[in-house]
Structure 1
Amino acid sequence: MKLRANCKINIGLNVLRRREDGFHDVSTVMLPVRELYDELEIEPSGALEFVQRGLAVDCPPQENICLKAWRLMHARYGVGPVRIALDKRVPFGAGLGGGSADATAVVLGIDALFGLGLTEAERIDCAAALGSDTAFFVRNAPQLCTGRGEVMRPVRPALDGYTLLIVKPDEAVSTREAYAGVRPAVPAESLAELMRLPVAAWQGRVKNDFEPHVFDAHPQLARLKESLLAAGARYASMSGSGSALFGFFDDPQRAQNYTPPFDGVFLHRERL
């Protein structure tokens, strides 16, 4: 079975409060990035096997989240061993949810491969047990995500016809680093309210709470954001905990003509 695990961006990310379980309550809109994806192959096997090619990640293969997803499905449903081959294309440490997408793809793939017939609620529960972004990829459609990210409801930001441009420098930002410097607070304007506005009204109002301290520690990220706005993006922001930045362009030619202000920057463009 072959699967595509596309990534996501976060439109706004408000860290509302720290929870008793050590996690944080957040409010964020997640948007799938359809044309930037990892490829996975999953097939029954006599023994559990994991093979990775493509971009490197910062963990040993035996600790990859794809194997954690299989172990969870084995513990819950008794599924047999599989061979998982991952072709990694989504940059790591970018705030794009590439690892989360891979884990959810394994959950969905095993559900189909073994004929488990799980409901959407059961798939979401399995995915949510593996991380905070993972549940989103069960629906893989624009969602307003709250709680740890696993409480979702559909949202429709007015992005039809825009071009999305994602830029990511060589440096990465860990989730731990991002959360270490954040100051939780409830914003004056909710994301649900702000998503009713046109994209041109978002800048300065739809905020990512990680940006101030992450930009202080990684000034090149602030420079990339400013370069997107200078190039004509109607809205630009950091995605998740970074280090990827993105911009929405209503003029596709401006998005095509964008040149990063320094070398070593990954670029991805797609029409929405």
Structure 2
Amino acid sequence: MPAVFAPAKINLYLHVTGRRDNGYHLLDSLTVFARDIADRLTFTPAPSFSLNITGPFADASNSGLMEDNLVLRAAKAVARACGRDDGFSITLEKNIPMGAGLGGGSADAAAAVRALEQLWGAELGDAERDALLLKLGADVPVCYRAATSRFEGIGDVVTPVDTALPEFHLLLLCPDAHTVTKDVFGAREKAFGERAADVPRGAGFEDFISWLSLTRNDLEDAAQALTPQIKEALNFLSELSGCRLARMSGSGSCVFGIFESAEACRIAAEDCRKFRPQWWAQATQIL
């Protein structure tokens, strides 16, 4: 089959609204996906599953035990659900930075589930699939859909956004540091926040930015305390010409800026590469 793409996830806002007795946090987030920033997976039939990781971020992905990789865990979960004892040799081209809040591992796992359902002609029921995805991680259900969505609860409530967002351009900027999600949640000290207002229907760019400015990322303070480079990146991005809003995605360390103009976004990306060459900078739009 053709290569399967796993697009980067961006949380335009992220509110922490509560916590269950079992420790799982309750979230509310408007989640979008990058049009041209994605990992790439290819599948070759094989007697069992194996994984080869390539690409610019392969070294970071290969740093842990291969058996713990979410792609292999997802593939084996689908095989069990489908009663299959064969597998695939999977090549994962890592183009999304690790530990950046862009959902790279979750997107890869979700893409593996989609691909195997197609390759095996699997007919997983919605409830069975949703349970499988959620067990892999809180971000995996929304990454499976890979479309603008509202993400709530512990990741178990994913609602497609049925109103078109205005056109805008994103500059993603990752400083030379990464975060660990559980550490960021553990360092968070503020009270729980409220659910955001619904996305305004038919809003133009200015109204959308005004609405989005009333939201926030409730993990920013904790992430910055653990990883000061995030604050530096946010300050740097905020000062770039044409940046209308700068915010962290997920639990960091990647931050993003929203621009109305493609040209302003392109110039800002060039400035990032010129003045912060050790950082990763990429301009994009959403799917």
The TM-score normalised by the length of structure 1 is: 0.91
The C-alpha deviation readout for 1:63-96, integer Å capped at 9, x for no partner, is 2111101121122221222211111110000000
Question: How many residues were matched structurally?
Answer: 271
Aligned to 1:222: 231
Q: Is the 8 Å Cα contact of residues 185 and 222 (structure 2) preserved in structure 1?
A: no
Q: 1:240 aligns with which of 240, 250, 256?
A: 250
Does residue 136 of structure 2 align to residue 126 of structure 1? no
Which deviates the most, 250-259 or 169-178? 250-259
* Equivalent residues of 2:172, 2:281 under 8 A apart: yes
Question: Percent sequence identity over matched residues?
Answer: 30
1:105 alignment partner, SS class: helix
Could you say if the C-alpha distance between residues 19 and 142 of structure 1 is closer, same or farther in structure 2, counting changes exceeding 3 Å?
same
Aligned to 2:35: 34
Question: Equivalent residue for 1:115?
Answer: 121
User: Is the partner of 1:243 in helix, strand or coil?
Assistant: coil
Give 1:178's aligned amino acid.
V
* Residue equivalent to 1:64: 69
**Is the contact made by 1:164 and 1:246 (CA closer than 8 Å) also made in structure 2?**
yes
Alignment counterpart, residue 148 of structure 1, candidates 141, 145, 154: 154
C-alpha separation between the residues in 2 aligned to 1:170 and 1:83?
32
Output the CA distance in 1 between the equivalents of 2:193 and 2:164: 22
CA distance, structure 2, for counterparts of residue 186 and residue 34 of structure 1: 32
Higher helix share goes to which structure? 2
Unaligned runs of 5+ in 2: none
1:39–1:87 contact (8 Å) kept in structure 2? yes
Q: Tell me if the contact between 2:75 and 2:113 (Cα under 8 Å) persists in the aligned partners.
A: yes
Work out the CA distance in 1 between the residues paired with 2:226 and 2:211: 25
How far the C-alpha of 1:126 sits from its partner, in A, is: 2.1
Aligned letter for 2:52?
V
Residue 192 of structure 1 aligns to a residue in which SS? coil
Q: Using a 3 Å threshold, how does the CA distance of structure 1 residues 195 and 208 change in structure 2: closer, same or farther?
A: farther
Work out the CA distance in 2 between the residues paired with 1:220 and 1:49.
Answer: 36
> Which amino acid is the alignment partner of residue 30 of structure 1?
T
Residue 15 of structure 1: aligned partner: 16
Contact 2:34-2:285 within 8 A present in 1 as well: no
Q: C-alpha distance in 2, partners of 1:206/1:145?
A: 14
1:193 pairs with 198, 217, 240, which one? 198
1:148 counterpart letter in structure 2: I
Alpha-carbon distance in 1 for matches of 2:128, 2:21: 25
Residue 52 of structure 1 corresponds to: 53
Is the Cα contact below 8 Å between 1:202 and 1:235 reproduced in 2?
A: no
Contact 2:14 2:216 in 1 (8 A): yes
Greater shift in the superposed pair: 5-14 or 157-166: 157-166
Secondary structure class of the residue paired with 1:10 = strand
What residue identity is the alignment partner of 2:75? W
Deviations 1:77-134 (A, max 9, x none): 2122221111111000000001001101111111111111334554333211200000
- SS class of match (2:225): helix
3-state DSSP class of the match of 2:71?
A: helix
Distance 2:97 2:215 in 1: 24
Match in the other structure for 2:80: 75
TM-score by length of 2: 0.87
- Deviation, structure 1 residue 212: 1.1
| Structure 1 position 268 matched with structure 2 position 278 | no
Whichever residue aligns with residue 168 of structure 2, its letter is Y
Give, in whole Å, the separation in 2 of the partners of 1:120 and 1:42: 24
User: CA separation in 2, counterparts of 1:102 and 1:51?
Assistant: 13
| Separation (CA, whole Å) in 1 of partners of 2:49 and 2:143 | 24
Residue 139 of structure 1: aligned partner = 145
Structure 1: which 5+ residue stretches go unaligned? Answer: none
